[in-house]
Chain A
């Protein structure tokens, strides 16, 4: 690959990284996994003057749960780290379902979850997952740390709310209210393809009642869509076929897909509804009969 000329630095502390970003004045890009950035540089769609490689900064590769259940994913946690974590299926079922369908195995070994969130590709999977889970991004800049809700973090295709001198340190998911269940379904034409449609569903429940729910949609709008009405409809209900059907319809209605070579808008809308239905119906919480 023959990208445009750029300079490169590999700091060993977060403070140093932030200082480099500050001094570059918006002309630097952070290199974590590089699985989106490097191809874009190859195609010269991105021509940053500087790369700040954070891979030498220790202590950012974690993914772990706090005692209170808050789940944290560090800036250098690779997709594969989550894919290989067997405990995740019960702890974080939506994340566990998404991790193995991110891109392809090669990308998953290098690419990072936080990097993918920052890249803010409308067809990226993690933004839907984290939005459904009510997750946030922790950004650190010269004036300290702040948290930004994932649902608000992305403010357009390939745009996020980070200041040029801020580094995304981690993503976190708040503790559940009750038991956590959920799933992620992705329609792709082939492994490694972007989602034609991706649907993330997170359900928190107490007894057979839904206490909190989130539904995130990938690939069916200018950026990730939070199907809030569909999710709210579930709260206080049990998951009976009628509720599921109405939630699926609401999610489908709020999606804004475009017709393209991956399919017509009508088709994508239909797949949104099908996937919402399939995920919710597959949960243990789901009842067979309408209440």
Chain B
């Protein structure tokens, strides 16, 4: 009897999410839900100033408050060599400020007390004497002659430059530009944003005096890396550290770095020999933890009159804040910015990139983005639209002219990546058909005659997800593989653990589906656990859409190891040789007599009760997977908008998304990821940004100022798909978690710019707030840069 794979929750089943049962009933187990006996509470005092020398810190009044157990300052951390810690990008970051504060919200002191109210009161009682210094809030100021040096703590730092990096072929690109008929230029800014998970960061450090073992419950997307980092920073032996990442209320990259609050709570627990809980408040999260983007681009395209792109030049200036703590693969200073233009057949390209320190929060994390790929694809698609307009070629046609052809794989991208598959033209055609492209162009013309402004924007791209192969990808030298461990119990039920860590992606649901696909064990019979470094195999964690490409592949591979052993057991049970049996989902059978067979469950029971002579009992294994390449999902996003010329308000009319993420494990979850991504894309395009005034004050420190779209504003999305299996992934899947966030923003911005076409406006930088659109329209000029804090 053949098992129906969808019925057992295998590949392609839109199985309801297992974890939702507890999430939607308020029964999740987040860090703040955990209460340990004798637990104390920690609060962080943050700097109100962006740049200032610390003259003195007086903590006497804080100590005097009843219930205060510990007050820690930078000076006290320094005496234990813990005032500074390494970052993920080979820089250093202050744990608690000693010499200076370098951004508003920087951690200055911590108070541990009997309850959070007392801790907060005591923080307010700490008196800090500051000497104000001028604040630097953008790369231009940072690189200006005579600019205040932010990192004067570093011996060899004589300016605010972090790196000056390049990639690509300069000479080849120069000659492409020499041959060009037309050079299209654009300057863009991708504003600073914040991943803003609903759950903020937090930890409970529990140092057990009896065993000398440190357990830390922590909001982290990468518990195993954190264990290594804690071992390094706290100088504790790695085997005496257990990191537990329980349910996470979102991450989006924000929960990859190590934050001062974690480190101080650990020290406090060691000193006090009691559990210490630290839960960041929303403002603390928004102003001090890993942000996204904040990159300026100068882009140029060399074009032939007939529409062919001959070459591309990009220069980026990126603002990393006070400490270079980007989470990114070690060897690429500006992440995978050079993955731009991968879907286009372009002979040559050159990228130069400078990174600078500013008096802003550190932690350029990949906010739902595979290492700066969001910026890369946004810049690419804005440049492409500019080029099509400059040539006077239809924007869809211009893309079609330059796409890599379906039969031209593997394809070397202009910056040297190797893509392995794609059907970009088909993807675009489905999108154009769905949005009704030709009809809309007619409507747009008619509307224009009546004074209404309609626009259509396209964004097409392929992006590298799933870092990555060990030749090129590491974080602090640790290669970016991932792992899975599968234990099949005697009843055929199983527990699976991986080195990844779900933050809402639904791993408990989808990993079980991969096991069901490989072994025929119903997904409901597989429990998935992640996030406890004492039980889960080592892995690099979940970010950069790497879980399915890497950990998901490991789940397949470990299932296949289990199947290989089960096959030997099956041969033993059927009393034939292994060569005589075949596999169908969930069952081995005799090739010559298909009715005679044993199920995977029967093999499991035999593994504990009747193994062949010489075979180890049990049915458990693990797999470490080093992917041969990145996966290259691709997509086409199209948005139509109407702009109100009297207010600058723009409404989204329709959005079509066509995604190819290869084989879909759980189509419902994939669709959820795409809709979530499109929502964030719309947010970036329309409202979401963090900005700073000239004194370095952060505007965007709470949800009144940092705007997240609600169900009310968010438009509806129409989803379509193309399926091109990844040629090297065991089940043909590719990453999908970030595609729409990455590719979506340009569709919205291109649509608004299309509506403004003919008014002399070439660019309005995100977010396209109504006043910026109105200003562009009425002045017929571009509105560029970070939204300024203009005050009369």
Q: Does B24 contact A (CB under 8 A)?
A: no
Is B789 located at the chain interface by the 8 A CB criterion? yes
Residues in A with CB closer than 8 Å to B770 are 187, 189, 196, 263
Q: Which of A2, A104, A262, A270 contacts B120 (CB 8 A)?
A: A2
Instruction: Decide if A187 touches B647 in the complex (CB within 8 Å).
Output: yes
Q: Which residue of A lies closest to B282 (CB)?
A: A42
- Would B649 and A187 count as touching, CB distance under 8 A? yes
- A271 surroundings in chain B (CB, below 8 A): 647
Instruction: Give every chain B residue within 8 A of A191 (Cβ-Cβ).
Output: 710, 712-713
CB distance B790 to A264 under 8 Å? Answer: yes
Q: Closest CB-CB distance, B455 to chain A, in whole Å?
A: 20
Contact with B along A250-291 (1 / 0, CB 8 A): 000000001111111101001100100000000000000000
List A contacts of B124 (CB < 8 A).
Answer: 44
Q: How far is the CB of B397 from chain A (nearest CB, A)?
A: 35
Residues 108-123 of B contacting A (Cβ, < 8 Å): 116-117, 120-121
> A259–B687 contact, CB under 8 A?
no
Q: Give chain A's interface residues, CB within 8 Å of chain B.
A: 2, 4-5, 43-44, 104, 187, 189-194, 196, 258-265, 267, 270-271, 274
Out of B43, B283, B708, B775, name the residue touching A264 (CB < 8 Å). B775
Identity of the chain A residue whose Cβ is nearest the Cβ of B789 in the assembled complex: A261
**B664 → chain A closest CB, angstroms:** 32
Q: Contact check: which of A43, A190, A263 meets B771 at CB < 8 Å?
A: A263
Q: List 13 A-B pairs, Cβ < 8 Å.
A: A5-B117, A190-B687, A191-B710, A191-B713, A192-B710, A193-B704, A196-B770, A258-B791, A260-B789, A261-B699, A261-B787, A264-B775, A267-B771
Whether A265 contacts B713 by the Cβ 8 Å rule is no
Q: How far is the CB of A94 from chain B (nearest CB, A)?
A: 20
B646 within 8 A of A: yes
B790 & A270 in contact (Cβ 8 Å cutoff): no
Q: How far is the CA of A193 from the CA of B117 in the complex (A)?
A: 29
Does any Cβ of A come within 8 Å of B774's Cβ? Answer: yes
**Contact mask for chain B residues 638-662; partner A; CB cutoff 8 A; 1 contact, 0 none:** 0000000011110000000000000
Assuming the A-B contacts A4-B121, A104-B710, A190-B713, are A259 and B649 also in contact, with contact meaning beta carbons closer than 8 angstroms in the complex?
no
Set of chain B residues within 8 Å of A2, measured between Cβ atoms: 43, 116-117, 120
Given the complex of chains A and B, what is the CA–CA distance between A4 and B124 in angstroms?
10
A284 to B317, CA, bound (A): 55
List chain A residues, Cβ under 8 A from B283.
43
Quick one: given A2-B116, A263-B771, are A190 and B707 in contact (CB under 8 Å)?
A: yes
- In the complex, which residues 649-688 of chain B have their Cβ closer than 8 Å to any Cβ of chain A? 649, 687
Q: Is the CB of A263 within 8 A of B769?
A: yes
CB-CB under 8 A for A189 and B769, given A260-B790, A261-B699, A274-B647:
yes
Once the chains are docked, how many angstroms separate the CA of A178 from the CA of B438? 52
- Specify which of B687, B702, B712, B791 is in contact with A189 (CB 8 Å cutoff): B687
A2-B120, A261-B789 given; A270·B707 CB < 8 A: no
| A190 pairs with B769, CB closer than 8 A | no
In the bound complex, how far is the Cα of B647 from the Cα of A2, in angstroms?
40
- Asked whether A265 and B769 contact (CB < 8 A) given A191-B710, A274-B647, the answer is no
Further 10 A-B residue pairs, CB within 8 A, beyond A190-B712, A261-B789, A264-B790: A5-B121, A43-B702, A187-B647, A190-B687, A190-B708, A193-B704, A196-B770, A258-B792, A261-B790, A267-B774
Q: At the interface, yes or no: B691 with Cβ under 8 Å from chain A? A: yes
Shortest C-beta distance, A144 to chain B (Å), equals 38
Q: Kindly list chain B residues whose C-beta atoms are within 8 Å of the C-beta of A196.
A: 770-771
Residues of A within 8 A of B702 (CB): 43
B709 proximal to A (CB < 8 A): yes
Given the interface pairs A4-B121, A189-B769, the reply to whether A267 lies near B775 with Cβ below 8 Å is yes
CB distance from B270 to the nearest CB of A (A): 25
Knowing A187-B649, A193-B704, A194-B704, say if A259 contacts B792 (CB, 8 Å).
Answer: yes
Of A43, A104, A189, the contact of B707 (CB 8 Å cutoff): A189
CA distance A271 to B775 in the complex (A): 12
Q: Which residues of A contact B774 (CB under 8 A)?
A: 263, 267, 270
4 closest A-B pairs by beta carbon, nearest first, are A263-B771, A259-B790, A191-B712, A2-B120
CB nearest to A104 among chain B residues: B710
**B709 closest partner in A (C-beta):** A190
- Cα A263 to Cα B699 in complex, Å, equals 14
Instruction: Give chain B interface residues in 730-784, CB to chain A under 8 Å.
Output: 769-771, 774-775
- Which of B648, B649, B691, B710 is close to A261, meaning CB atoms less than 8 Å apart? B691
Q: Which of A190, A262, A263 contacts B710 (CB 8 A)?
A: A190
Cα–Cα distance between A265 and B790 once the two chains are bound (Å): 9
Query: In the bound complex, how far is the Cα of B792 from the Cα of A217, in angstroms?
Result: 19
